[in-house]
């Protein structure tokens, strides 16, 4: 019964994946949708913020480098708009331990580099939203 409840809750969870890298978008979307999450994809920070105005989102997986604004700028705007929306960076760029500590103090849910394996990403997303 508990597993059925977790599966039901997971299916209701919506995630926005924000990146301008098409190869990453389709892979992440496919991987997380197999786990029962609804994944919406956008390519810019502006599109992410517009979607957040229209949808109830549980998690934003946010790239650091995007064409219109930095991931940090988008994160700050999200926190101004919807304090309950969780944000995790998902980036090719690894950062120092000190910088990660600052991000966590600012309210980031996780910092995941693109060197993750599939199971690790799934577990980290589950830990954030379930």
Q: According to the model, what pLDDT value does residue 10 have?
A: 46
4 within some domain: no
Q: pLDDT by residue (tens digit) across 46-87?
A: 999 999 999 999 999 999 888 899 999 999 999 998 778 999
The CATH number of whichever domain residue 78 belongs to comes to: 3.40.50.2300
Q: How deeply is 76 buried, as exposed, middle or buried, from its count of CB atoms within 10 A (0-12, 13-18, 19+)?
A: middle
Number of domains in the chain: 1
| Distances from the Cα of 87 to the Cα of 3, 79, 103, 106, 111, angstroms | 25, 9, 11, 11, 9
- The pTM for the full model equals 0.87
Torsion of CA 52, 57, 63, 65, to 10 degrees: 10
Q: According to the model, what pLDDT value does residue 116 have?
A: 80
Q: Is the pLDDT of residue 3 over 80?
A: no
Q: Is the pLDDT of residue 125 over 60?
A: yes
Q: How many residues can be counted in the chain?
A: 130
Q: According to the model, what pLDDT value does residue 92 have?
A: 84
Average pLDDT on 82-99 reads 88
Q: According to the model, what pLDDT value does residue 13 have?
A: 92
Q: According to the model, what pLDDT value does residue 22 have?
A: 79
Domain range holding 31? 10-124
111 within some domain: yes
2 within some domain: no
Q: Is the pLDDT of residue 110 over 90?
A: yes
Q: According to the model, what pLDDT value does residue 119 have?
A: 93
């Amino acid at each position: 019964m508990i597993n059925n409840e977790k599966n039901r809750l997971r299916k209701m969870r919506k995630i926005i994946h924000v990146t301008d890298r098409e190869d990453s978008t389709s892979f992440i979307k496919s991987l997380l949708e197999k786990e029962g999450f609804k994944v919406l994809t956008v390519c810019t920070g502006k599109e992410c913020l517009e979607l957040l105005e229209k949808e109830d989102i549980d998690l934003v997986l946010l790239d650091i480098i995007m064409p219109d604004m930095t991931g940090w700028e988008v994160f700050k705007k999200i926190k101004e708009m919807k304090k309950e929306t969780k944000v995790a960076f998902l980036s090719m760029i690894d950062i120092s331990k000190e910088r990660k500590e600052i991000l966590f103090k600012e309210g980031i849910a996780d910092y995941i580099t693109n060197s993750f394996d599939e199971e690790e990403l799934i577990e980290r997303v589950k830990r954030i939203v379930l």
